[in-house]
Homo-oligomer: A and B are copies of this chain.
Amino acid sequence: MNVVITGGAGFLGQRLARKLLQRGTLAGPDGVQQAIEKITLLDVVAATDFDDARIEVITGDIADEALLKQTITQETSSVFHLAAVVSGQAEKDFELGMRVNLDAARLVLEACRTAGNVPRVLFTSSVAVYGGELPATVLDTTALNPQSSYGIQKAIGEMLLADYSRKGFVDGRVARLPTISVRPGRPNQAASSFASGIIREPLNGQAAVCPVAGKTRLWLLSPRQAIDSLVAVQDLPAGALGKSRIVNLPGISVSVDDMVAALKKVGGEQAAEHITWQRDPAIERIVGSWPGAWDITRATALGLRADDSFEAIVRAYVEDDLPGPDRRDAPLQNV
C-alpha cells in the first residue's frame, strides 16, 4: 500500500503522515486493511520531521503535471490531496489560487486516471463552498454558492472528483472540513486564521486580533479530530458513500464569544486580555458567508464524530501543540 499526501509538508499533511505511520495500515480496494509500505509527501518545501524509512519526500510545484505523474503511479493506492492556497491568499492572488486549488486538483485526478489503477483519492473541501442566503443549518441538499475564489475552486474540485469517480477513473471521496481550530504555528492568510489565533496567541502570551464580532458563529473541528476523520473517510468502502462522494464532516457550532470563554477557562481570565477586537470588513464578508453549522446526519451514520466541546479542543491544543518542552507533557490545567 503506497500512499501519496499532497501538501505533505503542511500542518495537516504532516499530522496525517504521523497518524498513518503510527496506524500502519489503510483499507485496500477490497476493504481489508493493508500495511502501508510507503508514504510520499509532496510539497513545495520538504517535510523534514520524519525519521522513518516508509517516508519519501518529493519537493516541487503541485501544479507541475510531470511531477504529479512521477509521484502518482501504478503503485499508488491512496492519495490524500491536501495541497491548497488558503482563502485569503486565493482572494488576493487570483491566478495563484486557480493554479494551486483548481489546476493542481485536476492534474492529481489526471495523474490517477493515466496511472490506471483506480486509487482511492480524498479531497479536502471546506465550509467556503457554501454562501449567500443559507438556512440556519445547511443540509446536504443545499445548493453551493461560494462567495470567495477559494470556495469556487474547492467546489470545482468536488465536481471533478465526483465525475472522475462516476467514470471509474478514481474511487474518490470529499471530506468537507469545518474551520480547523486550534491550528498550531503562526497566523496565515486564511480568512479564518483568527479562529486559531485568538486561542493560540493568548495561550502563548502573545497578542491576537479578532477581526469579527463576538456573536459570529463558526463551525469548528480540531486538528486531532480532523485527521481521524480524514483517515476514517478514506477507509470507508465506496458502497457506504451511496450516491454522493461528499461527506460534510461533523463540527461544533460555536460563537467567537464562546471561544473566548473557553480560552479563559483553560488559560485563565487574563488570557483574553491579549485579544484586540478590530473588525475587518474583508474578513467579515468572507467568514460571514460561511455556514455556522451543517447537518451531520450522513456523517454520523458513516461513523464520524465531532469534538466534544470547544473547551476540549483548546485542551487538545495544549496537549498536542503548545510549544515548550515542559508544556508538551504537562497535565491539563490552566497555562
Supplied contacts A144-B159, A146-B163, A156-B156, 6 more A-B pairs, CB within 8 Å? A94-B167, A132-B244, A149-B163, A152-B159, A152-B163, A156-B159
Q: Does A284 contact B (CB under 8 A)?
A: no
Question: CB-nearest residue of chain B relative to A138?
Answer: B143
**Interchain CA distance A145-B243 in the complex, whole Å:** 9
Q: Which of B155, B166, B243 lies in contact with A159, CB distance below 8 A? A: B155
Decide if A228 is an interface residue (CB 8 Å cutoff).
no
CA distance A82 to B156 in the complex (A): 21
- Bound form: Cα–Cα A56–B160 in Å: 36
CA A243 – CA B134 in complex, angstroms?
Answer: 12
User: Which of chain B's residues has its CB closest to A113's CB?
Assistant: B94
The interface residues of chain B lying within 8 Å CB-to-CB of A141 are 142-143
Is A309 close to B, CB under 8 A? no
Residues of chain A whose beta carbon lies under 8 Å from any beta carbon of chain B: 94, 132-133, 140-147, 149, 152, 155-156, 159-160, 162-163, 166-167, 243-244
Asked if A143 contacts B144 (CB within 8 A), the reply is: yes
- Rounded to whole angstroms, the CA-CA distance of A163 and B131 in the bound complex is 13
Asked whether, in the complex, the Cβ of A156 is within 8 Å of the Cβ of B160, the reply is: yes
Q: Does A133 lie within 8 Å of B167, measured CB to CB?
A: no
Nearest CB on B from A128, distance (A): 12
Q: How far is the CA of A143 from the CA of B143 in the complex (A)?
A: 4
Nearest 9 CB-CB pairings of A with B: A152-B163, A143-B143, A141-B143, A156-B156, A152-B159, A132-B243, A149-B163, A156-B159, A155-B159
Decide if B162 touches A152 in the complex (CB within 8 Å): yes
Residue among A156, A166, A243, A244 with max Cβ neighbours from chain B (10 Å): A156
Decide if A143 touches B140 in the complex (CB within 8 Å).
Answer: yes
Chain B: which residue is nearest A134 at the CB level?
B141
Please give me the residue from chain B that is nearest to A141 by CB atom.
B143
Chain B nearest Cβ from A168, distance in angstroms: 11
Query: Chain B contacts of A166 at CB under 8 A?
Result: 147
